Amino acid sequence: MEYGLGIKNNHLYFGGADTVELAKQYGTPLYVFDERVIREACRDYKNSIDRYYDGNGMVLYASKAFSCKEMYRIANDEGIGVDTVSAGEIYTALSADFPAENIFFHGNNKTDAELEYAVENNIGHIVIDDFLEIDRLNNIAGQLGKTVNVMLRIKPGIDAHTHDFIKTGQNDCKFGFTLETGEALDAAKKAIRTENLNVTGFHCHIGSQIFSTEPFSLAASVMASFIARVANETGHTVSELNLGGGFGIRYTDEDEPLPYAEFMNKVSAQLKYSCKELSLPVPKVFIEPGRSIVGPAGITLYTVGSIKTIPNIRTYVSVDGGMSDNPRYALYGAKYDALIANKAEEPDDFIATIAGKCCESGDLIGENIKIATPETGDVLAVLATGAYNYSMASNYNRMTRPAAVMVKDGKSRVIIKRETFEDLISKDV
Protein backbone atom coordinates (compact mmCIF):
# COMPACT_ATOMS: atom_id res chain seq x y z
CA MET A 1 0.00 0.00 0.00
CA GLU A 2 2.71 2.44 -0.93
CA TYR A 3 0.65 4.69 -3.12
CA GLY A 4 -2.84 4.92 -4.55
CA LEU A 5 -5.73 3.45 -2.59
CA GLY A 6 -5.37 1.04 0.31
CA ILE A 7 -7.18 -0.12 3.43
CA LYS A 8 -5.86 -0.44 7.00
CA ASN A 9 -7.83 -0.87 10.24
CA ASN A 10 -11.14 -0.23 8.50
CA HIS A 11 -9.84 3.12 7.18
CA LEU A 12 -9.24 4.15 3.59
CA TYR A 13 -5.65 5.12 2.93
CA PHE A 14 -4.50 7.21 0.00
CA GLY A 15 -0.89 7.82 -0.87
CA GLY A 16 0.04 6.08 2.35
CA ALA A 17 -2.03 8.52 4.48
CA ASP A 18 -5.10 7.71 6.58
CA THR A 19 -7.88 9.67 4.85
CA VAL A 20 -9.96 9.82 8.05
CA GLU A 21 -7.05 11.61 9.72
CA LEU A 22 -6.64 13.93 6.71
CA ALA A 23 -10.32 14.88 6.99
CA LYS A 24 -9.78 15.64 10.68
CA GLN A 25 -6.61 17.59 10.13
CA TYR A 26 -7.66 19.73 7.16
CA GLY A 27 -11.46 19.67 7.35
CA THR A 28 -13.87 18.70 4.58
CA PRO A 29 -14.63 18.92 1.74
CA LEU A 30 -11.04 18.20 0.85
CA TYR A 31 -9.35 17.32 -2.42
CA VAL A 32 -6.51 14.86 -1.83
CA PHE A 33 -3.88 14.06 -4.45
CA ASP A 34 -1.30 11.29 -4.46
CA GLU A 35 1.89 12.77 -5.88
CA ARG A 36 3.34 9.41 -6.83
CA VAL A 37 0.31 8.50 -8.94
CA ILE A 38 0.68 11.79 -10.85
CA ARG A 39 4.41 11.28 -11.35
CA GLU A 40 3.98 7.64 -12.42
CA ALA A 41 1.47 8.72 -15.07
CA CYS A 42 3.82 11.45 -16.36
CA ARG A 43 6.66 8.91 -16.53
CA ASP A 44 4.54 6.26 -18.21
CA TYR A 45 3.60 8.70 -20.94
CA LYS A 46 7.09 10.12 -21.28
CA ASN A 47 8.78 6.72 -21.45
CA SER A 48 6.31 5.33 -23.95
CA ILE A 49 6.39 8.39 -26.22
CA ASP A 50 10.20 8.28 -26.17
CA ARG A 51 10.14 4.59 -26.94
CA TYR A 52 7.54 4.49 -29.69
CA TYR A 53 8.54 7.74 -31.41
CA ASP A 54 12.27 7.10 -31.08
CA GLY A 55 12.89 10.12 -28.88
CA ASN A 56 11.02 12.45 -31.24
CA GLY A 57 7.95 13.13 -29.13
CA MET A 58 6.78 15.25 -26.25
CA VAL A 59 4.09 14.92 -23.59
CA LEU A 60 2.10 18.03 -22.72
CA TYR A 61 -0.01 17.88 -19.56
CA ALA A 62 -3.44 19.38 -20.39
CA SER A 63 -3.55 21.66 -17.40
CA LYS A 64 -7.29 22.44 -17.71
CA ALA A 65 -7.76 19.13 -15.88
CA PHE A 66 -6.19 20.56 -12.71
CA SER A 67 -4.33 23.83 -12.81
CA CYS A 68 -2.38 25.14 -9.84
CA LYS A 69 1.23 26.12 -9.29
CA GLU A 70 2.24 22.78 -7.79
CA MET A 71 0.97 20.87 -10.83
CA TYR A 72 3.11 22.98 -13.16
CA ARG A 73 6.10 22.38 -10.86
CA ILE A 74 5.55 18.62 -10.97
CA ALA A 75 5.07 18.61 -14.76
CA ASN A 76 8.31 20.55 -15.20
CA ASP A 77 10.14 18.32 -12.78
CA GLU A 78 8.99 15.29 -14.79
CA GLY A 79 10.31 16.87 -17.98
CA ILE A 80 6.98 17.34 -19.72
CA GLY A 81 5.36 20.42 -21.27
CA VAL A 82 1.88 21.79 -20.69
CA ASP A 83 -1.18 22.72 -22.70
CA THR A 84 -2.96 25.88 -21.58
CA VAL A 85 -6.22 27.46 -22.72
CA SER A 86 -6.22 30.91 -21.18
CA ALA A 87 -3.89 33.67 -20.09
CA GLY A 88 -4.88 32.66 -16.56
CA GLU A 89 -3.42 29.18 -16.98
CA ILE A 90 -0.32 30.64 -18.63
CA TYR A 91 0.03 33.12 -15.78
CA THR A 92 -0.22 30.31 -13.22
CA ALA A 93 2.39 28.25 -15.08
CA LEU A 94 4.82 31.16 -15.42
CA SER A 95 4.40 32.09 -11.77
CA ALA A 96 5.55 28.55 -10.94
CA ASP A 97 8.65 29.19 -13.15
CA PHE A 98 7.41 26.85 -15.86
CA PRO A 99 9.60 27.28 -18.98
CA ALA A 100 7.65 29.31 -21.53
CA GLU A 101 9.04 27.35 -24.47
CA ASN A 102 7.31 24.18 -23.20
CA ILE A 103 3.87 25.79 -23.10
CA PHE A 104 1.23 25.37 -25.82
CA PHE A 105 -1.57 27.93 -25.92
CA HIS A 106 -4.96 26.76 -27.22
CA GLY A 107 -8.39 28.36 -27.45
CA ASN A 108 -11.15 29.05 -29.93
CA ASN A 109 -11.49 32.70 -28.96
CA LYS A 110 -8.26 34.03 -27.56
CA THR A 111 -8.46 37.74 -26.91
CA ASP A 112 -5.90 40.22 -28.25
CA ALA A 113 -4.74 40.75 -24.68
CA GLU A 114 -4.17 37.01 -24.27
CA LEU A 115 -2.29 36.73 -27.56
CA GLU A 116 -0.11 39.71 -26.65
CA TYR A 117 0.59 38.22 -23.25
CA ALA A 118 1.56 34.89 -24.85
CA VAL A 119 3.82 36.49 -27.48
CA GLU A 120 5.46 38.86 -25.00
CA ASN A 121 6.23 35.92 -22.74
CA ASN A 122 7.64 33.78 -25.59
CA ILE A 123 5.13 30.95 -25.20
CA GLY A 124 6.49 28.01 -27.21
CA HIS A 125 3.54 27.35 -29.50
CA ILE A 126 0.24 29.05 -30.15
CA VAL A 127 -2.44 26.82 -31.65
CA ILE A 128 -4.46 28.91 -34.12
CA ASP A 129 -8.14 28.18 -34.27
CA ASP A 130 -9.67 30.48 -36.92
CA PHE A 131 -8.80 32.67 -39.92
CA LEU A 132 -9.02 35.97 -38.10
CA GLU A 133 -6.59 34.74 -35.48
CA ILE A 134 -3.97 34.26 -38.21
CA ASP A 135 -4.09 38.00 -38.96
CA ARG A 136 -4.47 39.11 -35.36
CA LEU A 137 -1.52 37.04 -34.19
CA ASN A 138 0.58 38.14 -37.16
CA ASN A 139 -0.05 41.80 -36.32
CA ILE A 140 0.73 41.32 -32.64
CA ALA A 141 3.91 39.39 -33.44
CA GLY A 142 4.91 42.11 -35.93
CA GLN A 143 4.36 44.87 -33.38
CA LEU A 144 6.44 43.01 -30.83
CA GLY A 145 9.11 42.20 -33.42
CA LYS A 146 8.80 38.43 -32.96
CA THR A 147 8.22 35.33 -35.04
CA VAL A 148 5.76 32.96 -33.40
CA ASN A 149 5.70 29.16 -33.67
CA VAL A 150 2.17 28.12 -34.48
CA MET A 151 0.14 25.01 -35.12
CA LEU A 152 -3.30 25.03 -36.71
CA ARG A 153 -6.08 23.15 -34.98
CA ILE A 154 -7.75 20.83 -37.48
CA LYS A 155 -11.08 19.02 -37.19
CA PRO A 156 -10.34 15.64 -38.68
CA GLY A 157 -14.05 14.75 -38.57
CA ILE A 158 -13.67 11.71 -36.32
CA ASP A 159 -16.40 10.58 -33.96
CA ALA A 160 -14.68 9.14 -30.92
CA HIS A 161 -17.86 7.58 -29.46
CA THR A 162 -17.88 9.51 -26.28
CA HIS A 163 -20.29 11.74 -24.41
CA ASP A 164 -21.77 14.34 -26.77
CA PHE A 165 -20.72 17.29 -24.66
CA ILE A 166 -17.07 16.36 -24.72
CA LYS A 167 -16.71 15.25 -28.30
CA THR A 168 -14.69 17.78 -30.24
CA GLY A 169 -13.29 16.03 -33.31
CA GLN A 170 -16.43 16.02 -35.42
CA ASN A 171 -17.38 18.82 -37.82
CA ASP A 172 -20.15 20.49 -35.84
CA CYS A 173 -17.86 21.88 -33.21
CA LYS A 174 -16.59 25.32 -32.31
CA PHE A 175 -12.92 24.32 -32.39
CA GLY A 176 -10.56 24.46 -35.33
CA PHE A 177 -10.64 24.31 -39.12
CA THR A 178 -12.72 21.71 -40.95
CA LEU A 179 -10.74 19.30 -43.06
CA GLU A 180 -13.58 18.02 -45.18
CA THR A 181 -14.65 21.36 -46.63
CA GLY A 182 -11.17 22.50 -47.64
CA GLU A 183 -11.17 25.14 -44.91
CA ALA A 184 -8.17 23.53 -43.19
CA LEU A 185 -6.10 23.57 -46.38
CA ASP A 186 -6.96 27.23 -47.04
CA ALA A 187 -5.99 28.11 -43.48
CA ALA A 188 -2.70 26.25 -43.79
CA LYS A 189 -1.87 28.04 -47.06
CA LYS A 190 -2.68 31.39 -45.53
CA ALA A 191 -0.74 30.81 -42.32
CA ILE A 192 2.32 29.52 -44.18
CA ARG A 193 2.40 32.72 -46.25
CA THR A 194 2.04 34.89 -43.16
CA GLU A 195 5.17 36.82 -42.35
CA ASN A 196 5.54 36.59 -38.59
CA LEU A 197 4.23 33.06 -38.14
CA ASN A 198 6.25 29.88 -38.37
CA VAL A 199 3.85 27.00 -39.03
CA THR A 200 5.54 24.07 -37.29
CA GLY A 201 2.62 21.66 -37.54
CA PHE A 202 -0.99 20.73 -37.01
CA HIS A 203 -3.07 19.78 -34.04
CA CYS A 204 -6.21 17.72 -33.52
CA HIS A 205 -8.10 16.57 -30.45
CA ILE A 206 -10.81 14.03 -31.04
CA GLY A 207 -12.56 13.91 -27.68
CA SER A 208 -12.17 12.88 -24.09
CA GLN A 209 -12.52 9.71 -21.98
CA ILE A 210 -11.82 7.50 -25.03
CA PHE A 211 -11.10 3.81 -24.52
CA SER A 212 -10.14 2.52 -27.92
CA THR A 213 -7.04 3.16 -29.99
CA GLU A 214 -8.85 3.15 -33.35
CA PRO A 215 -10.03 6.78 -33.40
CA PHE A 216 -6.51 7.92 -32.48
CA SER A 217 -4.96 5.76 -35.21
CA LEU A 218 -7.48 7.07 -37.70
CA ALA A 219 -6.72 10.65 -36.63
CA ALA A 220 -2.99 9.98 -37.07
CA SER A 221 -3.47 8.71 -40.61
CA VAL A 222 -5.89 11.51 -41.57
CA MET A 223 -3.45 14.09 -40.22
CA ALA A 224 -0.48 12.51 -42.01
CA SER A 225 -2.41 12.75 -45.29
CA PHE A 226 -3.16 16.38 -44.54
CA ILE A 227 0.51 17.14 -43.88
CA ALA A 228 1.35 15.55 -47.24
CA ARG A 229 -1.38 17.50 -49.02
CA VAL A 230 -0.17 20.78 -47.54
CA ALA A 231 3.42 19.90 -48.51
CA ASN A 232 2.36 19.18 -52.10
CA GLU A 233 0.39 22.37 -52.45
CA THR A 234 2.71 24.78 -50.66
CA GLY A 235 6.14 23.18 -50.66
CA HIS A 236 6.17 23.52 -46.85
CA THR A 237 6.51 20.23 -44.95
CA VAL A 238 5.67 20.73 -41.32
CA SER A 239 7.73 18.85 -38.76
CA GLU A 240 5.28 18.55 -35.85
CA LEU A 241 1.98 16.83 -35.18
CA ASN A 242 -0.07 17.22 -32.01
CA LEU A 243 -2.60 14.42 -31.54
CA GLY A 244 -4.31 15.92 -28.48
CA GLY A 245 -5.46 14.12 -25.35
CA GLY A 246 -8.52 12.14 -24.39
CA PHE A 247 -7.25 8.86 -22.96
CA GLY A 248 -9.93 7.31 -20.76
CA ILE A 249 -9.65 6.46 -17.06
CA ARG A 250 -11.53 4.15 -14.73
CA TYR A 251 -14.23 6.00 -12.80
CA THR A 252 -16.27 2.84 -12.10
CA ASP A 253 -16.06 -0.83 -13.02
CA GLU A 254 -17.86 -0.01 -16.27
CA ASP A 255 -14.71 1.69 -17.54
CA GLU A 256 -11.85 -0.33 -18.93
CA PRO A 257 -8.90 1.87 -19.77
CA LEU A 258 -6.01 0.58 -21.83
CA PRO A 259 -2.43 0.97 -20.69
CA TYR A 260 -1.15 4.25 -22.20
CA ALA A 261 1.74 2.47 -23.86
CA GLU A 262 -0.81 0.53 -25.88
CA PHE A 263 -2.20 3.74 -27.40
CA MET A 264 1.30 4.89 -28.16
CA ASN A 265 2.32 1.57 -29.69
CA LYS A 266 -0.68 1.31 -32.02
CA VAL A 267 -0.89 4.98 -32.99
CA SER A 268 2.84 5.30 -33.65
CA ALA A 269 2.75 2.19 -35.86
CA GLN A 270 -0.09 3.71 -37.87
CA LEU A 271 1.61 7.09 -38.15
CA LYS A 272 4.90 5.58 -39.25
CA TYR A 273 3.10 3.43 -41.81
CA SER A 274 1.14 6.41 -43.16
CA CYS A 275 4.26 8.57 -43.38
CA LYS A 276 6.07 5.84 -45.27
CA GLU A 277 3.23 5.49 -47.76
CA LEU A 278 3.19 9.25 -48.25
CA SER A 279 7.01 9.56 -48.39
CA LEU A 280 6.93 11.95 -45.45
CA PRO A 281 9.44 12.19 -42.63
CA VAL A 282 7.76 11.12 -39.36
CA PRO A 283 6.93 14.38 -37.54
CA LYS A 284 7.68 15.11 -33.91
CA VAL A 285 4.58 13.95 -32.05
CA PHE A 286 2.94 15.71 -29.12
CA ILE A 287 0.16 14.31 -26.95
CA GLU A 288 -1.93 16.20 -24.40
CA PRO A 289 -3.25 13.93 -21.65
CA GLY A 290 -5.06 15.73 -18.84
CA ARG A 291 -7.61 13.49 -17.16
CA SER A 292 -5.38 10.41 -17.26
CA ILE A 293 -2.52 12.22 -15.49
CA VAL A 294 -4.48 13.62 -12.55
CA GLY A 295 -7.90 11.90 -12.55
CA PRO A 296 -6.98 8.68 -10.73
CA ALA A 297 -4.50 10.62 -8.58
CA GLY A 298 -7.25 12.51 -6.74
CA ILE A 299 -10.08 11.78 -4.34
CA THR A 300 -12.51 14.08 -2.53
CA LEU A 301 -13.33 13.68 1.15
CA TYR A 302 -16.66 14.90 2.51
CA THR A 303 -18.47 14.66 5.82
CA VAL A 304 -21.88 13.01 5.73
CA GLY A 305 -24.66 15.19 7.11
CA SER A 306 -28.35 14.63 6.56
CA ILE A 307 -29.58 11.15 5.56
CA LYS A 308 -33.10 11.09 4.20
CA THR A 309 -34.94 7.95 3.13
CA ILE A 310 -37.89 8.38 0.79
CA PRO A 311 -39.67 5.04 1.23
CA ASN A 312 -39.61 2.79 -1.85
CA ILE A 313 -37.73 5.45 -3.77
CA ARG A 314 -34.23 6.26 -2.53
CA THR A 315 -32.03 7.43 0.28
CA TYR A 316 -30.35 10.80 -0.07
CA VAL A 317 -27.02 10.89 1.72
CA SER A 318 -26.00 14.54 1.80
CA VAL A 319 -22.43 15.73 2.06
CA ASP A 320 -20.86 19.08 2.90
CA GLY A 321 -19.90 19.87 -0.71
CA GLY A 322 -21.55 19.06 -4.02
CA MET A 323 -21.81 20.55 -7.50
CA SER A 324 -19.75 23.51 -6.30
CA ASP A 325 -16.67 21.26 -5.98
CA ASN A 326 -17.71 18.57 -8.50
CA PRO A 327 -20.22 19.64 -11.16
CA ARG A 328 -19.60 16.60 -13.39
CA TYR A 329 -22.71 14.62 -12.50
CA ALA A 330 -24.89 17.69 -12.94
CA LEU A 331 -23.23 18.50 -16.27
CA TYR A 332 -22.56 15.13 -17.85
CA GLY A 333 -24.24 12.49 -15.69
CA ALA A 334 -20.67 11.37 -14.92
CA LYS A 335 -20.40 8.30 -12.71
CA TYR A 336 -18.19 7.88 -9.66
CA ASP A 337 -17.40 5.23 -7.09
CA ALA A 338 -17.44 6.22 -3.45
CA LEU A 339 -16.86 4.60 -0.10
CA ILE A 340 -17.08 5.48 3.53
CA ALA A 341 -13.50 6.11 4.52
CA ASN A 342 -14.00 5.17 8.17
CA LYS A 343 -15.85 1.95 7.20
CA ALA A 344 -13.57 0.81 4.41
CA GLU A 345 -13.75 -2.88 5.32
CA GLU A 346 -17.51 -2.98 5.83
CA PRO A 347 -19.80 -4.42 3.13
CA ASP A 348 -21.04 -1.87 0.59
CA ASP A 349 -24.61 -3.07 0.59
CA PHE A 350 -26.31 0.29 1.01
CA ILE A 351 -27.54 2.01 -2.15
CA ALA A 352 -27.24 5.76 -1.86
CA THR A 353 -27.93 8.86 -3.85
CA ILE A 354 -25.11 11.14 -2.83
CA ALA A 355 -26.37 14.71 -2.74
CA GLY A 356 -24.59 17.99 -2.23
CA LYS A 357 -25.68 20.94 -0.12
CA CYS A 358 -26.36 23.42 -2.90
CA CYS A 359 -29.84 24.82 -3.36
CA GLU A 360 -30.62 22.81 -6.47
CA SER A 361 -32.29 19.40 -6.93
CA GLY A 362 -29.76 18.38 -9.57
CA ASP A 363 -26.93 18.87 -7.11
CA LEU A 364 -25.88 15.23 -6.93
CA ILE A 365 -22.51 13.53 -6.91
CA GLY A 366 -24.12 10.32 -8.11
CA GLU A 367 -27.05 7.94 -7.91
CA ASN A 368 -27.18 4.24 -7.01
CA ILE A 369 -23.76 4.30 -5.43
CA LYS A 370 -23.00 1.30 -3.24
CA ILE A 371 -21.49 2.25 0.12
CA ALA A 372 -21.38 0.87 3.66
CA THR A 373 -24.34 1.85 5.84
CA PRO A 374 -23.90 5.61 6.27
CA GLU A 375 -24.23 7.61 9.46
CA THR A 376 -24.04 11.31 10.04
CA GLY A 377 -20.43 12.25 10.70
CA ASP A 378 -18.92 9.56 8.47
CA VAL A 379 -16.20 10.57 6.02
CA LEU A 380 -17.24 9.83 2.45
CA ALA A 381 -14.51 9.46 -0.16
CA VAL A 382 -15.40 9.95 -3.81
CA LEU A 383 -12.76 8.38 -6.03
CA ALA A 384 -11.02 9.50 -9.21
CA THR A 385 -11.91 13.17 -8.78
CA GLY A 386 -8.45 14.51 -9.61
CA ALA A 387 -9.41 15.85 -13.04
CA TYR A 388 -12.01 18.49 -13.87
CA ASN A 389 -13.24 18.82 -10.28
CA TYR A 390 -11.19 21.58 -8.66
CA SER A 391 -10.71 23.14 -12.10
CA MET A 392 -14.48 23.29 -12.66
CA ALA A 393 -15.43 24.22 -9.10
CA SER A 394 -17.45 27.35 -8.42
CA ASN A 395 -18.67 29.55 -5.63
CA TYR A 396 -22.32 28.77 -6.35
CA ASN A 397 -24.38 29.55 -3.24
CA ARG A 398 -21.24 31.28 -2.00
CA MET A 399 -19.68 27.97 -1.17
CA THR A 400 -15.97 28.27 -0.47
CA ARG A 401 -13.77 26.12 -2.67
CA PRO A 402 -12.15 23.27 -0.70
CA ALA A 403 -8.46 23.02 0.06
CA ALA A 404 -6.29 20.58 -1.87
CA VAL A 405 -3.57 18.57 -0.20
CA MET A 406 -0.83 16.57 -1.86
CA VAL A 407 0.17 13.33 -0.19
CA LYS A 408 3.47 11.62 -0.76
CA ASP A 409 4.53 8.49 1.08
CA GLY A 410 2.08 9.16 3.88
CA LYS A 411 3.04 12.83 4.36
CA SER A 412 0.63 15.57 3.40
CA ARG A 413 1.00 19.23 2.49
CA VAL A 414 -1.47 21.90 1.42
CA ILE A 415 -1.10 22.86 -2.24
CA ILE A 416 -4.24 25.01 -2.47
CA LYS A 417 -5.62 26.73 0.60
CA ARG A 418 -9.28 26.49 1.51
CA GLU A 419 -11.16 29.61 0.49
CA THR A 420 -12.40 31.82 3.29
CA PHE A 421 -15.46 34.03 3.64
CA GLU A 422 -13.10 36.99 3.15
CA ASP A 423 -12.10 35.50 -0.21
CA LEU A 424 -15.77 35.36 -1.13
CA ILE A 425 -16.31 39.07 -0.65
CA SER A 426 -12.83 40.19 -1.66
CA LYS A 427 -13.99 41.40 -5.08
CA ASP A 428 -17.34 42.77 -3.94
CA VAL A 429 -17.51 46.55 -3.90
Sites of contact with ligand LLP (CB under 6 A): 62, 65, 83, 106, 166, 168, 205, 208, 244-247, 288-292, 328, 388
CB 132: neighbour CB atoms within 10 A? 10
Q: Cβ neighbours of residue 132 under 8 Å, at least 6 residues apart? A: none
Q: How far is the CB of 289 from ligand LLP (least distance, A)?
A: 4
Answer for the pair 285, 56: CB distance below 8 angstroms, yes or no. Answer: yes
Quote the CA–CA distance of 360 and 30 in Å, as a whole number: 21
CB of 29 or CB of 246, closer to ligand LLP: 246
Q: How far is the CB of 356 from ligand LLP (least distance, A)?
A: 16
Q: How far is the CB of 349 from ligand LLP (least distance, A)?
A: 30
CB of 26 or CB of 263, closer to ligand LLP: 263
Answer for the pair 391, 64: CB distance below 8 angstroms, yes or no. Answer: yes
Quote the CA–CA distance of 10 and 2 in Å, as a whole number: 17
Q: How far is CA 18 from each of CA 8, 24, 299, 300, rounded to the nearest angstrom? A: 8, 10, 13, 13
Tell me the residue type at 275. Answer: C
End-to-end CA distance of the chain: give it in Å, rounded. Answer: 50
CB of 285 or CB of 341, closer to ligand LLP: 285
Answer for the pair 299, 383: CB distance below 8 angstroms, yes or no. Answer: yes
Q: How far is the CB of 182 from ligand LLP (least distance, A)?
A: 23
Quote the CA–CA distance of 13 and 20 in Å, as a whole number: 8
What does the longest C-alpha to C-alpha distance in the chain come to?
72
Backbone phi, psi, residue 366, to 5°: 175, 160
Backbone phi, psi, residue 52, to 5°: -85, -20
Burial of 235 (0-12, 13-18, 19+ CB in 10 A): exposed
- Closest to 15 measured CA to CA, from 34, 30, 40, 42: 34
Q: How far is the CB of 391 from ligand LLP (least distance, A)?
A: 8
Answer for the pair 74, 39: CB distance below 8 angstroms, yes or no. Answer: yes
Burial of 54 (0-12, 13-18, 19+ CB in 10 A): exposed
CB of 13 or CB of 216, closer to ligand LLP: 216
Q: How far is the CB of 110 from ligand LLP (least distance, A)?
A: 13
Backbone phi, psi, residue 422, to 5°: -60, -40
Q: How far is the CB of 428 from ligand LLP (least distance, A)?
A: 28
| Bridge partner residues of 406 (DSSP) | 33, 413
CB of 283 or CB of 327, closer to ligand LLP: 327
Radius of gyration of the chain (CA): 23
**Residue 159 gets which letter from DSSP?**
-
Catalytic residues: 359
CB of 208 or CB of 318, closer to ligand LLP: 208
CB of 15 or CB of 327, closer to ligand LLP: 327
Q: How far is the CB of 137 from ligand LLP (least distance, A)?
A: 18
CB of 346 or CB of 367, closer to ligand LLP: 367
